[in-house]
Amino acid sequence: MNTLLLTLHILLTVTLVALILLQNSKGGLTSGALGGEFYRSRRGAEKIVFAATIIVSGLFLITSLVSLGIR
């Protein structure tokens, strides 16, 4: 059980890092502070990557909490 959870957690970690790196870097605090476009809708693949990042980060949180509870 512990090995399976650790393997899943590592897989989620690598996936989360990859999804974050795939996202567009033109958003965020610096674009808002420097006068960039404040609101921009996501379309196509960018929307899918954004949703997948939220889902994978939620799963990462769950596996972290379960791992904490097991120890």
Asked if 67 contacts 13 with a C-beta cutoff of 8 angstroms, the reply is no
Instruction: Kindly list the domain boundaries of the chain, sorted by start residue.
Output: 2-70
- Considering only residues 70 and 31, tell me which one the structure prediction assigns the higher pLDDT: 70
> How far apart, in whole angstroms, are the C-alpha atoms of residue 64 and residue 70?
10
- Considering only residues 58 and 28, tell me which one the structure prediction assigns the higher pLDDT: 58
> How far apart, in whole angstroms, are the C-alpha atoms of residue 58 and residue 36?
29
pLDDT in tens, 12-26: 999 999 999 998 776
Asked if 63 contacts 12 with a C-beta cutoff of 8 angstroms, the reply is yes
Structure tokens that stand for 6 in this block? 């650790």
pLDDT tops 90 at residue 5:
yes
Asked if 61 contacts 24 with a C-beta cutoff of 8 angstroms, the reply is no
